[in-house]
Amino acid sequence: MTLTFTTEPAVPRPAAERSALLRSPAFGEVFTDHMISIDWQRERGWHDARLHPYGPLVLDPSAQVFHYGQEVFEGMKAYRRPDGTVVTFRPYANAARFNRSAARMAMPALPEDTFVAALELLVSADRAWVPDRPGHSLYLRPFMIATQYTIGFYGPSAAYRFMVIASPAASYFTAGAKPLTVWLSQDYARAAPGGTGEAKCGGNYAGTLVAQAQAREKGCDQVVWLDPVERRFVDEMGTSNLFFVYGRTLVTPELSGTLLAGVTRDSVLALAAELGYRAEEGKVGVEEWRADAESGALTEVFSCGTSSMITPVGSVRSADGDWTVGGGVPGPVTSRLREELTGIQSGTRPDPFGWVHKI
């Protein structure tokens, strides 16, 4: 059954106020005029799809999400191109991952077409909020919460709400493409085999905040997670995946079940191959990271994710010592991939993959 959305228009923010906010948006601080909600109940399935004014939710304090953490989310962006058109990037890939996360958290699947229709409706209604400055975008946050009112732990919630909110964004890392300094977390683990590491659920992020705070204390931008069993191999970074560049060969940690299958990660693998690099998934040992950086065989490391895009990693700090990669400055492969991917999104280079989705 196809869902029909009802619309309750918001009183838009005055244009002058919106323009001022769009001039230098801080990541995730300001939201557009509307939001999307769709409800699910065990007896009715998905129903009551609506576009309505952005604002606080009214939920009973016993809603299951507050107690047992049943929540999943996505992150994606809409871009305004120089010709004025607005596009998103691989929305069906996010829709598919959303449903994989939902399945792991015992939550219902949302039809992919409904997921994409919800994004299209919100972006169309709040089109004026899509920034036009290079590197800026409208960040879209689809999420689903458990809304059954009970603290009895009887099993998966019998009710959920899917929502989408949108926030104008500059670069996630305030220093733009300046190389990051990362902290190797040896005290904490992010995920375990059989756990929820592959799902994009709030709990995965909550459990890492203490390590992220530790990274900050050590003067680092982000935490890097090692495999939870041997603590020998690199899994991922706090908010993104990692790539290791050996001249013209790129290696990214394989999807072992404990790390997130990033849409940007997948795009970089395909794009790098198209540009003539060798791009592989494999195991990346932390000892090799250090030894290869020190010998010069490892030429660059970069992180990639929706919010942070492609960002060089220049320095590593750990309890066992510190090292730099590629002299701690952005390398040519990182810069090229960043330019090419941005070019596809902004329409300045062709999109042979069909990734761009016009709104």
Residue numbers at the binding site for ligand COI (CB under 6 A): 75, 239, 305-307
CB of 118 to ligand COI, least distance (A): 17
Q: Is the CB of residue 105 less than 8 Å from the CB of residue 157?
A: no
Six token digits for residue 197 = 């590491």
CB of 260 to ligand COI, least distance (A): 9
Q: Is the CB of residue 22 less than 8 Å from the CB of residue 131?
A: yes
How far, CA to CA in Å, does 275 sit from each of 6, 47, 271, 302, 346? 45, 45, 6, 17, 18
How far, CA to CA in Å, does 108 sit from each of 41, 81, 111, 120? 10, 35, 10, 21
CB of 75 to ligand COI, least distance (A): 2
Q: Return the half-sphere exposure (C-beta side, CA atoms, 13 A cut-off) of residue 240.
A: 25
CB of 141 to ligand COI, least distance (A): 8
CB of 152 to ligand COI, least distance (A): 31
Q: Which is nearer to ligand COI, 239 or 345 (CB)?
A: 239
Q: What is the residue whose two structure tokens read 């931008």?
A: 221
Q: Which is nearer to ligand COI, 32 or 239 (CB)?
A: 239
Q: Which is nearer to ligand COI, 18 or 265 (CB)?
A: 265
Q: Which is nearer to ligand COI, 148 or 306 (CB)?
A: 306
Q: Which is nearer to ligand COI, 12 or 202 (CB)?
A: 202
CB of 221 to ligand COI, least distance (A): 13
Q: Which is nearer to ligand COI, 214 or 324 (CB)?
A: 214
How far, CA to CA in Å, does 247 sit from each of 179, 195, 276, 341? 18, 35, 12, 19
Q: Which is nearer to ligand COI, 307 or 318 (CB)?
A: 307
Q: Is the CB of residue 251 less than 8 Å from the CB of residue 244?
A: yes
CB of 287 to ligand COI, least distance (A): 28
CB of 180 to ligand COI, least distance (A): 14
Q: Which is nearer to ligand COI, 225 or 277 (CB)?
A: 225
Which residues, listed in sequence order, are joined to residue 234 by a DSSP beta bridge? 226
Cα 310 to Cα 167: distance, rounded to the nearest angstrom: 20
Q: Is the CB of residue 359 less than 8 Å from the CB of residue 87?
A: yes
How far, CA to CA in Å, does 101 sit from each of 64, 74, 106, 196, 204? 17, 9, 9, 8, 11
Q: Which amino acid makes up residue 176? A: G
Which residues, listed in sequence order, are joined to residue 305 by a DSSP beta bridge? 309
CB of 307 to ligand COI, least distance (A): 3
Q: Which is nearer to ligand COI, 94 or 334 (CB)?
A: 94
Read off φ and ψ for residue 218, nearest 5 degrees. Answer: -85, 5
Residue number, nearest CB to ligand COI:
75
